[in-house]
């Protein structure tokens, strides 16, 4: 049995907050605090020192990007804190701001719609807590819709693979989705890294850099 992940949850709508607590508990997370405002989120995260933070972006008191700003602040204090932010809309600027905090690992940017697929949502949280990166498929899609300069060299298949990498999937999971062998995916990933001019180093980290490369190209 893996160690229980301690989570602080922030969501201002009570019903949804309760629902999320139920979901997280159900999938084996320990929700140590569930709060409704950004200042409470800062206090709770500092007091409980959780491994994972799940927060809405739009929160009281200002109802703008308070939740995101709190998350970025906490990441600056504790770079090992995994953060997943939930947004009602696709906004690549937010995704990039979050990915820019720290080394771009242990972060997730998801549309709120994703919580509907409860098992997949829980799976994504686990991947982020374990050191992965998860960018919502919708964000990925609209960033990949047109060829951008650094990505112009990628073939359509390589772009497809990069999109799945950005969502935080492993080579095995990508292979299963695209109905190809894992070796083929590994080859695509290698090509992507070469074309994006990312020199060999820690492989997992290079995957994150590849995702960051096209998120930055999007701005």
Partner 1 sequence: MTLDEPRHLAEALRRRRYLISAWPWRALAYAVTTVPLAGVLAVGLFVVGAPLLAVVTAAQRGRPVALPLVVVLTVVALAAVAVAPLVSAPLAVVDRWRLGLVDGRPLPGPGVRGLAARYTTGAAWREVAYAAWLGGAVPLAYGMFALLVLLDVLLLAGPWVAGGTDRIVLGWTTVDSPRAAVPYAVAALLAVPGLGYLAGLLVAAQAGVARWLLGAPSDGPALREVTRSRARLVGAYEAERRRIERDVHDGAQPRLTSLTLQLGLARLDVPEDSPAAKPLAIAHEQAKELMVTLRRIVQGIRPQQLAELGLAGAVGELAARATVPVTVRAELTRPVPELVETTAWYVVSEALGNVARHAGATRAEVRLTRPDRRLVVEVEDDGRGGADPARGTGLTGLADRVAAVDGRLLLASPPGGPTLVRVELPCRP
Burial of 166 (0-12, 13-18, 19+ CB in 10 A): buried
Secondary structure of 73-90 as H, E, C letters = HHHHHCCCCEEEEEECCC
Give 115 or 192: the residue with its C-beta nearer to partner 1: 115
Question: With b meaning 16 or more CB within 10 Å and e meaning fewer, what string describes 182-191?
Answer: eeebbebbeb
Residue 119 beta carbon to partner 1: minimum distance, rounded to whole angstroms = 7
Give 93 or 190: the residue with its C-beta nearer to partner 1: 93
Give 16 or 178: the residue with its C-beta nearer to partner 1: 16
Residue 185 beta carbon to partner 1: minimum distance, rounded to whole angstroms = 28
Question: With b meaning 16 or more CB within 10 Å and e meaning fewer, what string describes 91-109?
Answer: bbebbbbbbebbebbbbbb
Residue 7 beta carbon to partner 1: minimum distance, rounded to whole angstroms = 16
Residue 115 beta carbon to partner 1: minimum distance, rounded to whole angstroms = 5
Residue 200 beta carbon to partner 1: minimum distance, rounded to whole angstroms = 31
Give 66 or 158: the residue with its C-beta nearer to partner 1: 66
Burial of 69 (0-12, 13-18, 19+ CB in 10 A): middle
Half-sphere exposure of 162 (CA within 13 A, CB side): 31
State the residues that interact with partner 1 by CB under 8 A: 11, 13, 15-16, 18-20, 22-23, 26, 57-58, 63-65, 88-89, 91-93, 112-113, 115-119, 142-143, 145-146, 148, 218-219
Give 84 or 193: the residue with its C-beta nearer to partner 1: 84
Are 29 and 4 within 8 A, CB to CB?
yes
């Amino acid at each position: 049995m893996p160690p229980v992940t301690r989570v602080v949850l922030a969501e201002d709508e009570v019903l949804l907050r309760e629902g999320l607590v139920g979901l997280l508990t159900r999938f084996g997370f320990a929700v140590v605090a569930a709060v409704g405002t950004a200042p409470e989120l800062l206090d709770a995260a500092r007091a409980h020192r959780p491994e994972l933070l799940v927060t809405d972006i739009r929160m009281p008191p200002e109802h703008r990007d308070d939740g995101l700003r709190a998350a970025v602040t906490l990441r600056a204090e504790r770079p090992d804190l995994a953060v997943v932010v939930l947004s009602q809309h696709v906004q690549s600027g937010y995704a990039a701001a979050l990915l820019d905090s720290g080394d771009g690992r242990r972060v997730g940017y998801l549309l709120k719609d994703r919580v509907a697929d409860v098992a997949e949502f829980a799976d994504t949280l686990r991947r982020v807590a374990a050191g992965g990166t998860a960018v919502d498929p919708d964000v990925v899609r609209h960033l990949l819709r047109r060829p951008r300069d650094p990505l112009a060299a990628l073939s359509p298949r390589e772009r497809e693979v990069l999109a799945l990498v950005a969502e935080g999937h492993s080579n095995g999971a990508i292979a299963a989705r695209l109905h190809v062998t894992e070796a083929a995916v590994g080859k695509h990933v290698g090509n992507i890294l070469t074309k994006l001019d990312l020199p060999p180093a820690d492989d997992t980290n290079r995957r994150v850099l590849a995702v960051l490369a096209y998120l930055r190209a999007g701005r």
